Amino acid sequence: MADATLTAYNVKTKEKNVPIQDAVISRTAKGGYIAKGHDGKGNKLTSLLGEEKALAAIKAGKAKQDW
């Protein structure tokens, strides 16, 4: 996967595809992946990810691993 940028929907400002800053990827109870971070303006962001995208973001250095 060439593009490992993590984006999410900002519920507060209703913006789509907002880049997640300082992302931390963790595993969910059912084995999925979730990225948590912020948008740089103080708003928290979360996004559910597939395994391929989550591991690509960790490998590219765009996110930290939490497990």
29-54 per-position pLDDT tens digit: 999 999 999 999 999 999 999 999 99
Q: What does the domain layout of the chain look like in residue ranges?
A: 7-65
Check residue 2 and give its pLDDT: 55
Kindly report the pTM of this predicted structure: 0.88
DSSP assignment of 1-67 equals: ------EEEETTTTEEEEEPEEEEEEE-TTS-EEEEEE-SSS-EEEEEE-HHHHHHHHHHTSEEE--
